[in-house]
Amino acid sequence: MNPLLEVWLIVLREARKNLRSVKGLVMLSLSVLGAMACTFRIPKMEEGLEAAQKIGADQLHDAKAKFFADMYGSDSAGERLADAPVKLVILFFLAVWLAPLLVAILGFDGVPSDVQYRSVRYWTVRVRRSSYYVGKFVGLWFVVSVITLVMHSLIWGVTIARADASAADTLAWGIRFYLISLPISAAWCGIATLVASLLRTPILALLLICATFFTLFFAGGIVGRSQHNEVLQGIYPNGYDAWMLSTDLRHAFIGLAITLGFAVVTTAAGAFVFSMRDI
């Protein structure tokens, strides 16, 4: 059997299992509630900003550009985002920021619970272990992507319905933001699946995933950024959103390649270790 078919069958099962599990439904509900909260809160923020500063559209554009440039540490990204509907930018920011949490909660028990309860033994006599592992990774990524898409779609709908932005602008920016969030969540999924697969106990896996994510955030997002240390910044997947938002295509491509590289390297390493170990 083609390994891709093996992976596909595993992914289908993972999607079915997660999307109808209590955990999956709770995360989906929380994501939707979060998106709805943003929908109603952000217009007030926009109006407040405009009213408080008594500024016009051009000045608001510049203020947004500066704000987003500071937020992402990139003038190019700031300038680009200033044209986008604020609601979508904030949602994108939140989606990327919260992706590790979503990934940790959805992915901590994928491999460890199968190993702990030895259910994995039903699979390993039928599929290559590497296919099983890759299926777990892709399945997690798929579920995270579906939940994120639901969240994004809700905001798109509300933005269009309230005429906060044109349908064309909303979809163009919305789809772009969604697509940029995918490689970043893939990187987190790769790391989470690798870390979790090293353990047999799901709760320990959750703790280790959270510790790993926090370490990456602290080292890359806090220390690296404050000290302008590119190596440290480079280990934090969320830091690549600014790269992919850049107007410089080369820059955007490097950001994409590095985030996908995270996913590929961690998945390859995890699949290798999983193939070698006793289960």
Partner 1 sequence: MTTEAAIDSGVDSAKPSPAKSKRAGIVEAAVRIKKVSKHFGMKVAVDDLTMYVPTGMVYGLIGPNGAGKTTTFSMLAGYLAPSEGQVEILGFAPTNVDALRGKLGVLPQDAMLPASDTVGEFLVHMARLQGIPRVKAMSKSREALEEVEGKDWWKVRCGALSHGMAKRVALAQALLGDPEVVLLDEPTAGLDPRVAYEVRQLIKSRKGRCTLVVSSHNLQELEEICDAAAILDRGKLVASGTIAELTSSTEEVHFRVAPPLTPPGAKIPLDLVRGIPIVKLAEYDDLRGELAVHFDRDKADAETVIESVLRVLLDQRVRISGVSKGRGLEQRVMDLT
Q: Which residues sit at the interface with partner 1, rule CB under 8 A?
A: 1, 6, 9, 13, 16-17, 20-21, 114, 117-129, 275-276, 278-279
Q: How far is the CB of 122 from partner 1 (least distance, A)?
A: 6
Nearest to 101 by CA among 147, 37, 138, 149: 147
Look up residue 275 and give its two tokens. Answer: 């193939």
CA dist 65 and 229 (Å) reads 24
Our CB check for partner 1 shows the closer of 115 and 154 to be: 115
Q: How far is the CB of 1 from partner 1 (least distance, A)?
A: 5
Torsion angle, alpha carbons of 22, 27, 31, 34, to 10:
90
Nearest to 91 by CA among 170, 172, 152: 152
* Residue 199 backbone class (left: φ over 0; alpha: ψ -120 to 50; beta: rest): beta
Our CB check for partner 1 shows the closer of 93 and 133 to be: 133
Our CB check for partner 1 shows the closer of 76 and 124 to be: 124
Cβ distance 220 to 233 under 8 Å?
Answer: yes
Q: How far is the CB of 132 from partner 1 (least distance, A)?
A: 9
CA dist 161 and 164 (Å) reads 8
Q: How far is the CB of 118 from partner 1 (least distance, A)?
A: 4
Our CB check for partner 1 shows the closer of 118 and 162 to be: 118
Q: How far is the CB of 5 from partner 1 (least distance, A)?
A: 9
Our CB check for partner 1 shows the closer of 18 and 193 to be: 18
